[in-house]
């Protein structure tokens, strides 16, 4: 299967299936000398693992990482870093029935159309568990970025119709509530919405916002390797993401040049922007201000309500999806967005070191 490798210098290759023996990633191009241990990785994996609240799948997995290579005496050696997370509580029998039909909202039909057959156990490579490898690699990228003074923070901006109030923004709240919202009141309201939709055997989507601080100006390319274009590809490669925007995003289409342009000002020995409608990127290159992006995450397609579909005999049927599924993907996808952003920024920072003498 092509398409499991991402990056140019800091390059990752994810592998494994939802119901296989394990999930993993190989990270190539990590510079030598970075202090790194399994706990650094585990902190990130713990943020996406299942079974932590009633708003995640009841599938219980510890998602304990093992580093197999690339580390010696607590530091990276510059060689490939291979990591594995074993699957421990697969219930593949829950998925035997779906071998005969195509689940609405899933990749079942498109996998059959492409390959002629598919791994129907939880979605195989198209399962959300594939993102474990991304998060493990993202933990390394984020730690390296901190040495450059670059920090990434992602959170749930909205759950369904419930949106955070920025006047009540509290970054410490992100890891305190089950929905990863930086507004405790909004989280409670969103939880009520979720409880209601779960009783209806339905699911909910939302928007993840990500803010990058400390990114230096001058990173990115002006044509096909634009920083914003690569960030879009990275974030849109996450299975449940259906939309991406940066800065004002689609709101810019309603603006005028006089209100959308970010004016420059020289102050305290440096050039800054007085606004940040561009979201920290101009002409595909970082401008030194915060990079602000958002990802629209669709509702979980596996729901308990009856749905119409087609089986492999081309018969129209009604189905009810069985198995263990998240009623909402957004909270567990927050760290996945953060990780893909970290991988992309680090890769382009390393590429940028060859841009001038």
Compute CA 118 distance to the chain's CA centroid, rounded to the nearest angstrom. 24
Q: Greatest CA span in the chain, whole angstroms? A: 71
- Nearest-CA neighbor of 235 among 206, 213, 208? 208
What phi, psi does 286 have (nearest 5°)?
A: -60, 140
Q: What global pTM score does this model have?
A: 0.93
pLDDT digits (tens, 9 = 90+) for 246-278: 999 999 999 999 999 999 999 999 999 999 999
Compute CA 315 distance to the chain's CA centroid, rounded to the nearest angstrom. 36
Please tell me the predicted confidence (pLDDT) of residue 330: 96
Q: From start to end of the chain, where are the E strands?
A: 5-6, 11-16, 22-28, 65-67, 71-72, 75-76, 81-86, 151-159, 162-163, 206-213, 241-246, 264-267, 270-273, 281-282, 285-286, 291-297, 307-310, 316-319
CATH value at residue 62: 3.60.150.10
Q: Is residue 252 part of a domain?
A: yes
Beta strands 291-297; 71-72: pairing state: unpaired
Could you give the CA distance from residue 65 to residue 209 in angstroms, rounded to a whole number? Answer: 27
Please report, for the chain, how many H helices and E strands are present, in that order. Answer: 7, 18
> Of all residues in the chain, what percent are helix, strand and coil, respectively (each to 5)?
35, 25, 45
| Structural domains of the chain, count | 1
Contact status, residue 282 vs residue 260, Cβ threshold 8 Å: no
Q: Is residue 357 part of a domain?
A: no
Q: Is residue 244 part of a domain?
A: yes
Band of pLDDT at residue 324, cut at 50, 70 and 90: low
Band of pLDDT at residue 27, cut at 50, 70 and 90: very high
pLDDT digits (tens, 9 = 90+) for 111-146: 888 888 777 766 778 888 899 999 999 999 999 999
Domain, as residue range, for 247: 5-352
Q: Is the pLDDT score of 50 beyond 90?
A: no
Please tell me the predicted confidence (pLDDT) of residue 75: 97
Q: Is the pLDDT score of 48 beyond 90?
A: no
Q: Is residue 215 part of a domain?
A: yes
pLDDT digits (tens, 9 = 90+) for 225-254: 999 999 999 999 999 999 999 999 999 999
């Amino acid at each position: 299967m092509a398409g499991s490798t991402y990056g140019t210098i800091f390059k990752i290759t994810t592998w494994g299936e939802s119901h296989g023996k394990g999930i993993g990633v190989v990270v190539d191009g990590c510079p030598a000398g970075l202090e790194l241990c399994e706990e650094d990785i585990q902190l990130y994996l713990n943020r996406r693992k299942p079974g932590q609240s009633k708003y995640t799948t009841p599938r219980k997995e510890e998602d304990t990482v093992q580093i197999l290579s690339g580390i010696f005496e607590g530091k990276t050696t510059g060689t490939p870093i291979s990591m594995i997370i074993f699957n421990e509580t697969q219930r593949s029998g829950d998925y035997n029935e779906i071998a005969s039909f195509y689940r609405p909202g899933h990749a079942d039909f498109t996998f059959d159309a492409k390959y002629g057959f598919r791994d129907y156990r939880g979605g195989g490579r198209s399962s959300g568990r594939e993102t474990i490898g991304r998060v493990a690699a993202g933990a390394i990228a984020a730690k390296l970025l901190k040495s450059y003074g670059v920090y990434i923070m992602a959170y749930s901006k909205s759950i369904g119709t419930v949106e955070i109030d920025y006047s009540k923004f509290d970054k410490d709240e992100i890891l305190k509530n089950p929905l990863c919202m930086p507004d405790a009141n909004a989280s409670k309201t969103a939880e009520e919405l979720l409880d209601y939709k779960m009783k209806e055997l339905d699911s909910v989507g939302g928007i993840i916002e990500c803010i990058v601080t400390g990114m230096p100006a001058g990173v990115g390319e002006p044509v096909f390797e634009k920083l914003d274009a690569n960030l879009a590809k990275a974030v849109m490669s996450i299975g449940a993401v259906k939309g991406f925007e940066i800065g004002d995003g689609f709101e810019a289409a309603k603006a005028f040049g006089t209100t959308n342009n970010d004016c420059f000002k020289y102050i305290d020995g440096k050039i800054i922007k007085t606004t940040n409608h561009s979201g920290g990127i101009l002409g595909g290159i970082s401008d030194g201000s915060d990079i602000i992006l958002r990802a629209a995450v669709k509702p979980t397609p596996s729901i308990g309500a009856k749905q119409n579909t087609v089986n492999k005999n081309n018969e129209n049927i009604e189905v009810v999806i069985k198995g263990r599924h998240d009623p909402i993907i957004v909270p567990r996808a927050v760290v996945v967005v953060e990780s893909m952003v970290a991988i992309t920024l680090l890769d382009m920072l390393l590429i940028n070191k060859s841009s001038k003498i």
